[in-house]
Amino acid sequence: MDEELPSAYIEDFRNSLDIELSKYVGEAYPKGECAVYCTSGKDVEGPGADFGFAVVISAAKRSPQNFCNGSWRSVWTVDFNYELQYVDIKGKIQVGAHYFEEGNVQLDTNIDRKDSTVWQSAEDSAVSITNIIRHHETEYLSSLEESYLNLSDATFKDLRRKLPVTRTLFPWHNTLAFSLTRDLAKELALGK
């Protein structure tokens, strides 16, 4: 048997998770890819020991003709704890977006997630883990979409200076009282 390959017992868990994740990624991410790697315990021959996997999900959309590009990458560590009979799931989601028509706007986010589930058969564990990953990624994507909807109302207003350098509010209701040319003429005594 090749030293680099996991045992049949571990491969059963890894392959089941890979199949479930491939279904999810195929539905959620056009042109997305996923992979499941054994990170610890690959020589475990049967129940009674801990082992772990790394799950990588990656998707990108390049559309320079529409002046935008985007990428999604999530890396999940899945640790099976035999003694406690649970599976610890930790993830890091990274999203990048770049919009560059008449400007240059970029989004670069990182967020960490953590969850767990009970240890079950290979197939049931794979379904449970995939559902947890789906839940966290969908929740995060929804929060990003909500942020975009509020972008013009909240974010850009927050970027603007609240008060001018004089630290007083500009009287927008009475703009006719201000005239730059009148003030300059008065200062330079040109209007007399």
The per-residue pLDDT for 172 is 65
Identify the CA nearest to 115 among candidates 104, 129, 101.
Answer: 129
The per-residue pLDDT for 89 is 97
pLDDT digits (tens, 9 = 90+) for 40-71: 998 999 899 999 999 999 999 888 888 888 89
**Phi, psi dihedral angles at 121 (to 5 degrees):** -65, 170
Q: In order of start, what are the domains of the chain with their CATH numbers?
A: 8-159 (3.90.1150.210)
Q: Is the dihedral of CA 23, 122, 9, 51 positive or negative?
A: positive
pLDDT digits (tens, 9 = 90+) for 12-36: 999 999 999 999 999 999 889 999 9
The per-residue pLDDT for 1 is 41
Q: pLDDT averaged over consecutive 10-residue blocks of the chain (192 residues)? A: 75 96 94 95 91 96 86 96 95 90 79 96 96 96 83 61 64 62 67 52
The per-residue pLDDT for 2 is 46
Rg (C-alpha) for the chain, rounded Å, is 27
The per-residue pLDDT for 29 is 92
The per-residue pLDDT for 163 is 60
